[in-house]
Structure 1
C-alpha cells in the first residue's frame, strides 16, 4: 500500500477538501468523470459520519499495487470504536465501491474503500512520486486550504523533527561517553543519559547548582573557564582535562572535556557541542611512566647519596677514633699535669703562705680555681665520650635503686643546700644501670645547684604510664629558665648562667640527652623563669634490642 496524500477530518471545509483530493486521485488514475464522482461520493459519506461524530479523523489516499488488480484506496480512520451499523454513511458507500474493509480496535475504527482502476500506463515508483508531487504543489482553492496545507506541512515537519530528535537521543545514549550541548553562557541545553548515570545530576540541577559537586575542587576553575570560553575562529575544538566524581563510589576519575561550536548554514555559531570522555586509565598509565622516570632519577640520586653517606660514615668513624684517642689522652696524659698543678698550688698555699703577699695569693687562688675547672671539664668530656651505644648493657634495672644510689653519691651537695627530695614509686626498665645513675645524678645535681639563694631546694621525682611509655618527671622549685633556650640547653658547652654564679661545664644535660636516646627515649622540659622547672624523661616500656 503506497500513500499518496492525507487530509485531517474536523469540519465541513475538510469534507470539501477530502472530496476534491479524492476526485483528483481518481482523475490521475484515468477514471471517468462518473467513476471519479462515484468514488468521491463514497469517501464523502464515510467522512461526513466521522465529522458528525465529533471525532478527529484522517483520510489517507493510497494505491494498492500488491496484487494483479490495481485499486485506489481511501483509508478513513476514526478515534472512536464503531460497528458497521453504527457508522452512518458506510451502508451507502459500500455499494459505490468494489470492496471495503472495516477494522475495529480498542479505541479506533478503520474503514478502507477500494475502487478498481486500469490505467493505460504502468504504476511504478516514478509514477507514484509524480502523483505525490501533484498534491504537494497543487494550488489551494481557498485560504482555509492554504492554512490547512501549511498546518499539515508543519505537523509533518514536527514529526520529522521529533523522529530526528529521538534517533539522535537513541544514538547518543548508545555511545559510552557523555554528550551534551550548551549555550555560550555555559547553560546546558541537552545531555544524554550517561551524564545522569555517571554524575547522578540532571540538566536542571547542574544549571541551578553548578558543577562544584561533580568536578574535583582543584579542577573546577579550569573546567568552568572552558564552559565560558569565547567561540574560537575556525572549526577547531577547545579542550581541558578534569576529574569528575562517580555517583556510586564518590571516586574522582580523569576525563577529557572537548567543546566544538555548532555553526549554521550562514556561518553563525549557534551553541556548543561537548564531549566528556573517560581517560582515567590513560592518565594512570602516564602517571605511572612519570613515576617510573622519577623513581629512576631518585634511585640514581640515592646511589649518589649512598656514596656520599659512606664517605661521611668513614669520616665519622675517623672522628670517633680521634675522639676515643682524645678520651684516652684526657683520662691519662691531661689529668696528670692538672693533678700536679693542683698539688703544687695547694702546697704553696699551705707551706709558703707567709712569704707571699696578697696579690700573689690572689694569683695563686685563681690558678688553683682554673686547674679545678680544667679537671672538671676533662672528667665531663671523658664521661660524655664514654656514653657509647656499643657500651650499653641492657638488663632489668630498678630505677628506685638507681635513684637511691644517686642520692647517696650526691649526699654532701644535698646536705649543704639542705635540699628536700621526695621520690615516688619508679618502674623497672630495660636499661644500663650505670648510665641511668649518671642520668639522675646530673638532673638532681642541676636541680639542687640552680636554686634560689636562701631558699631550700624542693625536688620531687614521679612516674606515670602514657601510651606505652614511662614518663618520669623531675620537678624543682629553682630559678627556672626561659623556654626559648630549651633546645640550646641540651647541646655541648651551652650555659644559660655565668660561671661566677653557678658552676659547671655545660655538658650535664648533653650527657642526659645522649643517655636517653641510647635507651630509645627522649628528654624535654617545661619551665617559667623564676618559678622552677620540670624535666621529662620518656622511656619505652618494652625495648626491642
Structure 2
C-alpha cells in the first residue's frame, strides 16, 4: 500500500478538501466521472462521521498494487468511531465501494475503503511518485486550503527540525568529548552532556562563574580570552590548553578549540567549540623533555623485565618441583617408612628375647628415626598442600573448630592431663579444614612444650576490633626467649633440642602459612620458664567483601 496524500479533518472545509482530493485520485487512476463521484461520496460519508465525533481524525489516500487486483484506498483514522452515527455513515459508504476493512488498536479505529481500478496504463512506483508530486504542487482552490497547506508544511518542517535537533544531541552526547557553542558575548548557548557529567556544573552556573571554579588558576588568564568578545571578534579558529577540574577535584589537561559560525554576509553569529582530554599526551610530553632519562628508564625496565621473567621461571620450576615432591612424599617415601615401622615393631615384639641389648638399642633408635621421618613427611606434605587453589571459603563457626581440634588432640590432652579453657568465638569467613589445623598445631605446641612437673593449662580467648578477630593462645609452659621470635615461624626452625621435645620444626610454619592465606597475621610473646602466648588476627569477612 502506497500513501499518496493526507488530509487532517478538523472542520467542514476539510470535508470539501477530502472530497476534492478523493475525486482527484480517482481521476488519476482512470475512473469515469460517475465512479469518481461514487468513491468520493463514500469517503465523505465516513469522513463526516469522523468529524462529528469531535476526536482527532485524518484521511490518507493510498494506492494498493500489492495484489493482482488494483485499488485506490481511503483510510480514515479516528480515536472513537463506535457511535450509531458512525455506523450509519459506514453502512452508506460500504454500499459504494468494492470492499472495506475495520481495524481497532487501543482507542483508535481505522476504516479502509477499497475501490477497484483497471487503468489502461501501468501503475508502478514511478507513476505513484508522479501522483504524489501532483498532489503536492496542485494549486489551492481556496485561501483556507492554502493556509492549511502552509500550516501542514510548517508542522512537517517543525517535526523535521525537532528530529534533527534530537539526532544532533544524540550524536554529540555519544561522542567522547565536550561539544558546546558560545554567543558573541562569550556565554554558553549549548553543551552536550559531557560538560556537566565531567564538571558537575550546569550551563547557567558556568556562565555566572565565568568558568573560574573549574579552570586552573595558572591557565585561566589565557582561557578568559575565549570569553572576551573584543579580542575574539575578528579571529578564525582559536585553540588553547588548560587544566579543567572534574567532579572529584582533580585537574586534567584539555585542549579547547573554537571556530566562528558566520552568516552569508560574514557577520559572526556564534562560536562552535569542543573540549578534548589530552592529559595522557601532556604526561608524555613532560616525560619526553628529558630523553636521556627516558632511555635509561626504558633500559632499566627491560632489565627488570628480564630479571622478573627469570624469577618467574625459577618460581614456576620451584613450584613444579614442590608438586613433584608432594607426590613423591605422599606415595614413594611414606611406604618405605611404614615398612620400617612395621618390621621394627614386629622384631621388637617377636625377637626381643634373641637380640642383645646393643641390638635392641639400635632397633629402638631405628624405630624412633622412622617415627620422626613419618612425621616430617606428613608435615611437609601438609605444608605443600596449603595454597590458594585449595581454599574453600565458607562461614566457619570457630567454636566448632576449637572443639574439633580438642577432640583430635584428645589422647595428648589426657596423657598430659591438660586443661583447655575457651571463651566464645565468632563466625568468620574461612577454610574450615585449614582453621582446624591452625588450632590443632597451636594447642599441640602448648601441650608439647609444657613443664614436666606441671599439667599444661591453655587459655584461648578472643576479641573483635575493626572487622578482625584476635585470638590469643596463652599457656603455662616452658616459654621461650623473644630474641628467637623472627625464626620461630620459619621452616625447620627449632628452639629446643630434639631429645628434650620431639618435633619437625614445621608446625608454626604451617600456622603462619594458613594465617597468611586467610589475609591475617600471627605473632607471639613469652619468657623462658613463664609460658608463651600466640596471637592470631583474622578478618571476619572474606577479603574484598
TM-score by length of 2: 0.51
Question: Which residue of 2 is the match for residue 309 of structure 1?
Answer: none
Say whether 1:196 aligns with 2:196: yes
1:191 Cα shift?
1.6
Q: Deviations over 1:397-444 (max 9, x none)?
A: xxxxxxxxxxxxxxxxxxxxxxxxxxxxxxxxxxxxxxxxxxxxxxxx
1:268 Cα shift?
4.1
Q: Deviations over 1:319-356 (max 9, x none)?
A: xxxxxxxxxxxxxxxxxxxxxxxxxxxxxxxxxxxxxx
Question: Which residue of 1 is the match for residue 217 of structure 2?
Answer: 217
1:291 Cα shift?
5.0
1:111 Cα shift?
1.7
User: How far apart in 1 are the matches of 2:61 and 2:257?
Assistant: 49
Question: Which residue of 1 is the match for residue 27 of structure 2?
Answer: 27
The verdict on how the C-alpha distance between 1:164 and 1:226 changes in structure 2, with shifts beyond 3 A counting, is: same
User: How far apart in 1 are the matches of 2:82 and 2:197?
Assistant: 47
The verdict on how the C-alpha distance between 1:267 and 1:207 changes in structure 2, with shifts beyond 3 A counting, is: same
Say whether 1:74 aligns with 2:74: yes
The verdict on how the C-alpha distance between 1:178 and 1:22 changes in structure 2, with shifts beyond 3 A counting, is: same
The verdict on how the C-alpha distance between 1:213 and 1:233 changes in structure 2, with shifts beyond 3 A counting, is: closer
Question: Which residue of 1 is the match for residue 257 of structure 2?
Answer: 258
1:24 Cα shift?
0.8
1:246 Cα shift?
1.6
User: How far apart in 2 are the matches of 1:83 and 1:234?
Assistant: 68
Question: Which residue of 1 is the match for residue 442 of structure 2?
Answer: none
8 Å Cα contact 1:81/1:104 also seen in 2: no
Question: Which residue of 1 is the match for residue 44 of structure 2?
Answer: 44
User: How far apart in 2 are the matches of 1:154 and 1:274?
Assistant: 31
Question: Which residue of 1 is the match for residue 277 of structure 2?
Answer: 278
Question: Which residue of 2 is the match for residue 434 of structure 1?
Answer: none
Question: Which residue of 2 is the match for residue 125 of structure 1?
Answer: 125
8 Å Cα contact 1:71/1:115 also seen in 2: yes
1:133 Cα shift?
1.6
Question: Which residue of 1 is the match for residue 157 of structure 2?
Answer: 157
The verdict on how the C-alpha distance between 1:59 and 1:242 changes in structure 2, with shifts beyond 3 A counting, is: same
User: How far apart in 2 are the matches of 1:207 and 1:81?
Assistant: 54
User: How far apart in 1 are the matches of 2:144 and 2:94?
Assistant: 30
RMSD: 2.7
8 Å Cα contact 1:61/1:74 also seen in 2: yes
Q: Deviations over 1:238-260 (max 9, x none)?
A: 1111111222x221111111111
User: How far apart in 2 are the matches of 1:295 and 1:113?
Assistant: 81
8 Å Cα contact 2:177/2:276 also seen in 1: yes
The verdict on how the C-alpha distance between 1:155 and 1:284 changes in structure 2, with shifts beyond 3 A counting, is: same
Question: Which residue of 2 is the match for residue 388 of structure 1?
Answer: none
The verdict on how the C-alpha distance between 1:233 and 1:195 changes in structure 2, with shifts beyond 3 A counting, is: closer
SS in 2 for 1:141: coil
1:166-181 to 2 correspondences below 5 Å: 166-181=166-181
1:2 Cα shift?
1.9
**Higher alpha-carbon deviation: 93-102 or 81-90:** 81-90
User: How far apart in 1 are the matches of 2:99 and 2:209?
Assistant: 65
1:89-488 to 2 correspondences below 5 Å: 89-229=89-229, 236-247=236-247, 249-265=248-264, 267-291=266-290
1:78 Cα shift?
1.4
User: How far apart in 1 are the matches of 2:143 and 2:107?
Assistant: 33
TM-score by length of 1: 0.51
**Higher alpha-carbon deviation: 286-295 or 214-223:** 286-295
Q: Deviations over 1:255-281 (max 9, x none)?
A: 111111223455443221111111111
SS in 1 for 2:150: helix
The verdict on how the C-alpha distance between 1:295 and 1:3 changes in structure 2, with shifts beyond 3 A counting, is: closer
8 Å Cα contact 1:82/1:104 also seen in 2: no
8 Å Cα contact 1:84/1:102 also seen in 2: no
What runs of 5+ residues in structure 1 fail to find an aligned partner? Answer: 297-545
User: How far apart in 2 are the matches of 1:71 and 1:269?
Assistant: 56
1:491-502 to 2 correspondences below 5 Å: none
Number of residue pairs the alignment of both structures matches: 296
User: How far apart in 2 are the matches of 1:136 and 1:261?
Assistant: 38
The verdict on how the C-alpha distance between 1:205 and 1:51 changes in structure 2, with shifts beyond 3 A counting, is: farther
- Higher gyration radius (CA): 1
SS in 2 for 1:218: helix
User: How far apart in 2 are the matches of 1:238 and 1:148?
Assistant: 47
User: How far apart in 2 are the matches of 1:124 and 1:225?
Assistant: 62
User: How far apart in 2 are the matches of 1:209 and 1:127?
Assistant: 62
